[in-house]
Structure 1
């Protein structure tokens, strides 16, 4: 009897379907949740990119209409720090600026300048190296919006840190200095316009 029980134990174990669903769930749970988290992160990053574009358009409109001026001796004059704070306030729903972000940019980088001739508008993202994933070159960034009736360009860059490992190799395009692998997704928004005769 014991020999029969031992011989029949393995076939009985294979034939027993109790707990099969739990085992299947355990096998499929990790890939399933990775895909769910990757989808959520992609959606949030897309929403953040739209928020950055909207903030750029909003601040560009304020410069264009004379609601924000620079170094003109008017009550609407803003310093670079005040302008950065205004930009941070516009994107604060998803992209919170740190307490030092206004004075020492780490994630949000702004380049506001008067364009003397339309052929001088930069067409590419300024990079430190020649690689498409090189770090952002901010050495030429400034805050100098034009006066009335002049052409002005506002470029906004934001470092979006990608958290999900599954998504990171496919969406990252910015390698911070001192790292070998791209970790951040560089969001870019640009507005070029002619100021009104305010």
Structure 2
């Protein structure tokens, strides 16, 4: 057998293997999963972040509501008083700090925040009757997404037997862009990107006839 014949025989012997490799490469989908993940990763993680963002915002809302209930109960029972010359008296700053302590598990208030509000606003007032308590949110304009008007906010709780209202407002920052257009309740008038979800909690009560 000549050298040419031997070479041809070897080529015939290895030809099926080469064709099998070509077919395997053609059928290979090793990179398909990576490409599909790259295409779906961004919307997938956006949805996950949106779920987490919404959950945390609603958890913060419940936390503020519980703090309003707790502080209202303390005022109602005389554990917190105002301008009565007692050891239970709390100034506006002390009351705000006590409220911050109630929400500190999720929302932190700095010393400057307790003294001068920038995110947490508390409105504590006494009224002659329950019907005199406001039922609307004070805003700077009639626009649905207008900012709150803090000019009329006070800290003037009454004594024993008085009718009082405690209302808390907190500006919760929304981080995920996907969620902002749907749950933000304060939107800038200049049309810039909204970032804040306004948490509101209210309690109306009549103080007990504590001594």
Summarize the Cα distance change of 1:112–1:178 in structure 2 as closer, same or farther, 3 Å threshold: farther
Structure 1 pair 17/81, CA: closer, same or farther in 2 (3 Å)? same
Aligned counterparts of 1:162 and 1:95: Cα–Cα separation in 2: 14
Match of 1:3 in 2: none
Aligned counterpart, 1:149: 161
Which stretch shifts more, 49-58 or 99-108? Answer: 99-108
Are 2:66 and 1:54 aligned? yes
Shift of 1:181: 4.0
Contact 1:114 1:152 in 2 (8 A): yes
What is the deviation of 1:182? 2.8
Match of 1:72 among 73, 76, 84: 84
The residue aligned with 1:173 is: 185
**How much does 1:15 deviate?**
4.1
Greater shift, 172-181 or 99-108, is seen at 172-181
Structure showing greater radius of gyration is: 2
Are 1:116 and 2:128 an aligned pair?
A: yes
Q: Secondary structure at 2:126's aligned position in 1?
A: strand
Q: 1:38 to 1:88 in 2, by over 3 A?
A: same
Q: Residues 82-161 of structure 1: matches in 2 within 5 Å?
A: 82-161=94-173
Aligned equivalents of 2:196 and 2:151: distance in 1?
Answer: 19
- Deviation readout 1:46-83 (Å, 9 max, x if unpaired): 11000000000000000000000000111100000000
Deviates further, 161-170 or 14-23: 14-23
The alignment yields a C-alpha RMSD, in angstroms, of: 1.7
Q: Which moved more, 1:113-122 or 1:71-80?
A: 113-122
Instruction: State how far apart, in whole Å, the 2-side matches of 1:162 and 1:88 are.
Output: 20
Conserved? CA contact 1:133–1:182, under 8 Å: no
Greater percentage in helix: 2
1:29 aligns with 2:46: no
SS at match of 1:102: helix
Q: CA deviation at 1:117?
A: 2.2
Paired residue for 1:188, among 186, 189, 200?
200
Change (3 A) 1:143 1:172: same
Q: Cα distance 1:63–1:179, how it changes in 2: closer, same or farther (>3 A)?
A: farther
83-92 or 121-130, which deviates more: 121-130
Query: Structure 2 vs 1, CA of residues 120 and 184 (structure 1 numbering), >3 Å: closer, same or farther?
Result: same
Gaps of 5+ in 1: 1-10
Q: Which structure 2 segments of 5+ residues have no match?
A: 1-22
Q: Contact 1:176–1:183 at 8 Å: present in 2 too?
A: no
